[in-house]
Amino acid sequence: MKKVVVGISGGVDSSVAAILLKKQGYDVIGLFMRNWDSSINNDYLGNPNIDHNICPQEEDYNDAVKVCEKIGIPLYRVDFVKEYWDYVFTYFLDELKKGRTPNPDLMCNKYIKFDMFAKEAIKLGADFIATGHYAKTKNGKLYKAIDTNKDQTYFLGQVSSKQLQNVLFPLGDLIKPEVRKIAREYDLITANKKDSTGICFIGERNFAKFLDNYLPNTSGDIVNIETNEVVGMHYGLMHYTIGQRRGLNIGGNNDKLFVVGKDLSKNILLVALGENNEYLYSDMAIIDNVNFISELKPSACHAKFRYRQKDNDVTVEYHDDYMIVKYPQKIKAVTPGQACVLYLNDECLGSGIIKEVYKNGEKITYL
């Protein structure tokens, strides 16, 4: 009997992944990862339904224990707090300092879930590892899940083909309502538990207050890039991303202003009127930190520049350590620090990190 170590998070997806693997005849072991010390900066969003005598991470672990007891599999626990800090959270902070918009989930998958976790699973005798990701894999290749709304290949684009060789994604052929139905059939405590949000493994917090513990919070002017008028004050450039409208707190007729850029040297947040203003659009990007999962390198394919974004037609020029991705139809809010993930039909070819953005042959300097 083949042994599978499943990453049990205390959520419904990993719970059902374990059930499905057990039904398929695998010897299933659960492994819970502790990647953040939740006693540090305990500033979770106020919620009367949360017992603040126990942090949400410990609640997740307790739920994981109950799930594994219910379905009859052992559960182990491993501590990756230092590794998460070194490989994920430090990267996250460094990118914010540069004025970019990082996605820590990509690095968490690359360095923690499909590296550190996999090594721990081998110690437990695993033939395979599995997670509750909505994705598919075969022979080290990565494919989109059936549930296009939940597909998570965008977050897996930095994982290597080698890392995917002995990985199972049991939820790849299911849609979310089916997953919850299975959980209810097994009367799992996670059946109706809401999906996790917030920073990977850190959870739902007052984000601004949380980041203030790590990065200096320097307020400055919000300036309309079209009129050069000061329209408000921001509370730290790290708290804003390209295309953002909500949370600017500038009121009046300015509620239709969108973030279009940042001037780090002057500590200015740049905005412009309307969600389709010209400052939000670009037609080319330079992509570094490139990771190819597939051996395919087509000159024409599709790309996502944000999670749940539609597939965009692009052309790609491949270089030794970077790519040039062109999209002459123009795309909104292509943002440095975010991922550019390439697809050919349902296959995820790989990804890179957006370094520079261009329009009409000129670098957009305010990004």
pLDDT reading at 181 higher than 50: yes
Task: Judge whether 108 counts as a catalytic residue.
Answer: yes
Residues 7, 113: Cα–Cα separation, whole Å? 8
**CB within 8 A of 2, min separation 6: which ones?**
26, 27, 127, 128
Q: What percent of the chain has pLDDT over 70?
A: 90
Task: Judge whether 301 counts as a catalytic residue.
Answer: no
Residues 101, 290: Cα–Cα separation, whole Å? 17
Count of C-beta atoms within a 10 Å radius of residue 202? 22
Q: Which of 200, 301, 340, 348 is catalytic?
A: 200
**CB within 8 A of 62, min separation 6: which ones?**
10, 54
Q: Which of 55, 68, 108, 340 is catalytic?
A: 108
Asked if 263 and 224 touch (Cβ cutoff 8 Å), the reply is no
Instruction: Using CB atoms within 10 Å of the CB of residue 315, give its burial: 0 to 12 exposed, 13 to 18 middle, 19+ buried.
Output: middle
Mean pLDDT along residues 66-90: 96
| Residue whose pair of structure tokens reads 């990771």 in the numeric block | 291
Q: Summarize pLDDT for 1-57 with one digit per residue, the tens.
A: 999 999 999 999 999 999 999 999 999 999 999 988 766 655 544 444 444 445 667
Asked if 129 and 28 touch (Cβ cutoff 8 Å), the reply is no
Domains and CATH numbers, the chain: 3-185 (3.40.50.620), 216-273 (2.30.30.280), 278-363 (2.40.30.10)
264 DSSP assignment: T
Asked if 99 and 338 touch (Cβ cutoff 8 Å), the reply is no
Tell me the whole-structure pTM to 2 decimals: 0.92
Q: What percent of the chain has pLDDT over 90?
A: 82
Helical H segments across the chain, by residue range: 12-23, 56-71, 81-84, 90-97, 104-108, 117-123, 176-185, 207-211
